[in-house]
Amino acid sequence: MKESVSFAFAVYLLGFAVSIFIAAIIKFILFFIRKFSKRVQN
Amino acid sequence: MIKLLNLFQGVGTLFVQDPKIAIARIVLILLGILMVYLGKKEILEPLIMIPMGFGMAAVNSGVLFLSATQIGTIFMDPLVTNTDEIMNILQIDWLQPIYTFAFSNGLIACLVFMGIGVISDVGSVLKYPFTGMLIAMFAELGTVATFPIAHAMGLSYGEAAAVSLIGGADGPMVLFASLSLAKDLFVPITIVAYLYLSLTYGGYPFLVRLLIPKDLRGKAVKTTNKRNISSGEKLAFDIIACIVLCLLFPSASPLFLSFFLGNAIRESGMTRYAKLLEDVFLYSATFLLGLMLGVLCEASTILNPKILFLLLLGIIALLLSGIGGILGGYIVYLINGKNFNPVIGISGVSCVPTTAKVAQKEVNRVTRYSFILEYAMSANICGVITTAILTGIYVTFIPLM
């Protein structure tokens, strides 16, 4: 039981970390594209 | 009398089978009729329930004597693994080709996922990525908390993971995971998942009303003027997120590819492909999925003592995910200085777009002037992504244990 609880907890933490990483990638993509498109316009 | 029973073998087999199986057949025929009725009344999702009910009723009625010693049907045999036997059965059982070439390898799940990709607008995810992901991860509470409960009830790690994923409220994901982690139980797990997913539309509103006071349910969310997301930005997100997730979890890469490709087709403006995926692939796959699930409900296959556990665990998983989602809504409400509606939390449960609709409907019951659909869709689509991530983690790590 203890092992399965710690495994579930590890799965959750890893899932959380990957989800936040994806959210950070989204912010990075938007930042990068918008900065790049501004430069092209200038 | 014997001649008569041999003539009408569907009835005749009832008298020679184990009484338990004969009774289960009759119960499943009645359950099939009930599913068609509930589908027609739209209490359960008709797109799945009507073909499933018909399949279930027909497969349990159409049992015949295949040989002097063998009783079975000419629908399909999900348990056959020997290649020679499969080649024989492919020529006899009419649904076996679909089962072998599209169901048991997860193709149908991927086609449904492609369709979900086409109908999903990731613009709201790109507008509120952290809020959406935070709520969606809270709404995965059932997906992880059910795992130790299921294991304590005697299920193996693979079976426990597959049944826990019901908490993600995403049918194709449960099908995909149970096919790779719990081959022996994938029929009952997927059936339980689809039965319960149909109930989310009816059940979650009560949970929302129970856990969120009326004045909070009607809270308007002040939105900041965010720039609109262009289709190029959405497309860039699709390709990068797809590559990153495939790099991290190759075992679930078919799911990631299907979802993001579907969305990329939508954002690329390829209307012919988009129509093909939505109108043909998505609906064909959903229809076949319903029919196959019904036909898989053969009494001899489904009579498994673990099914009662699965019924219980499925409801626990969905309940915990709903509670987790609302908790996530409350946390964002506090983080945002009370400028958030906690009802949005329920849409973190990734039943696209059902839970987002539930959230907006519940808000509209209190006030007609609060629109939370954009936030709700963000959390909803983030829920699809987080469920796919958790499926990837389970499918990758369970075989290593």
Each residue's pLDDT tens digit, B1-57: 777 777 888 998 988 888 999 999 999 999 999 999 998 998 888 888 999 999 999
Do B304 and B188 contact (CB within 8 A), yes or no? yes
Chain A residues within 8 A of B382 when measuring between CB atoms: 19
Q: Mutate one of B133, B381, B384 to test the A interface: name it (highest A CB count within 10 A).
A: B133
Would the pLDDT of B139 be above 80? yes
Helix (H) or strand (E) holding B72: strand B71-72
The reported pLDDT for the residue numbered A25 is 92
Taken in order B112, B115, B119, B125, the sign of the CA dihedral is positive
In whole angstroms, what is the distance from residue A4 CA to residue B150 CA?
10
B389 and chain A: CB distance < 8 Å anywhere? yes
Structure tokens, B89: 């059965």
In whole angstroms, what is the distance from residue A17 CA to residue B140 CA?
13
Predicted confidence (pLDDT) per residue in B87-135, tens digit? 999 999 999 999 999 988 889 989 999 999 999 889 989 999 999 999 9
Name the residue facing A4 among B148, B240, B241 (closest C-beta): B148
Q: Mutate one of B122, B226, B233 to test the A interface: name it (highest A CB count within 10 A).
A: B233
A17 and chain B: CB distance < 8 Å anywhere? no
Structure tokens, B306: 């673990």
Name the residue facing A1 among B126, B152, B401 (closest C-beta): B152
DSSP state letter for B77: -
The reported pLDDT for the residue numbered B258 is 95
| ω into B399 cis (within 30 of 0) | no
With b meaning 16 or more CB within 10 Å and e meaning fewer, what string describes B168-182? bbbbbbbbbbbbbbb
Would the pLDDT of B400 be above 80? yes
B126 and chain A: CB distance < 8 Å anywhere? yes
The reported pLDDT for the residue numbered A40 is 62
List chain A residues with pLDDT less than 70.
38-42
Do B376 and B230 contact (CB within 8 A), yes or no? no
Burial class (CB in 10 A: 0-12, 13-18, 19+), B5: middle
Identity of the amino acid at B215: D
A31 and chain B: CB distance < 8 Å anywhere? no
Rounded to a whole number of angstroms, the distance from the CA of B71 to the nearest CA of chain A is 41
B125 and chain A: CB distance < 8 Å anywhere? yes
Predicted confidence (pLDDT) per residue in B311-347, tens digit? 899 999 999 999 999 999 999 999 988 889 999 999 9
Structure tokens, B166: 């019901």
Q: What are phi and psi of B72, to 5 degrees?
A: -175, -160
Alpha helix positions (H), B268-306: 271-275, 283-295, 299-302
Predicted confidence (pLDDT) per residue in B167-226, tens digit? 988 888 898 899 889 888 888 888 888 888 877 777 899 999 999 999 899 888 877 777
Distances (CA, A) of B182 to A7, B155, B173, B217: 18, 10, 13, 40
Interface pTM, i.e. ipTM: 0.91
A13 and chain B: CB distance < 8 Å anywhere? no
- Rg, C-alpha atoms of chain A: 18
Structure tokens, B372: 């939370």
What phi-psi label fits residue B230: left (phi over 0), alpha (psi between -120 and 50 degrees) or beta? beta
Nearest CA to B252 out of B151, B66, B110 is that of: B110
Q: Mutate one of A13, A18, A34 to test the B interface: name it (highest B CB count within 10 A).
A: A18
Do B20 and B14 contact (CB within 8 A), yes or no? no
Would the pLDDT of B386 be above 70? yes
Number of C-beta neighbours around residue B323 at 10 A: 20
On the CB side of B1, how many CA atoms lie within 13 Å of its CA? 1
Contact (CB<8Å) B151/A1 = yes
Q: Helices then strands (H, E): number in chain B? A: 22, 2
Residues linked to residue B65 through DSSP beta bridges, in sequence order: B71
In whole angstroms, what is the distance from residue B390 CA to residue B255 CA?
12
B267 and chain A: CB distance < 8 Å anywhere? no
Q: What are phi and psi of B78, to 5 degrees?
A: -75, -15
Structure tokens, B137: 């991860």
* Mean pLDDT confidence for B284-289: 92
Helix axes B373-397, B231-248, angle to 10 degrees: 20
The dihedral over CA atoms of B72, B77, B83, B88, expressed in degrees to the nearest 10, equals 50
Residue B321, classed as helix, strand or coil, is helix
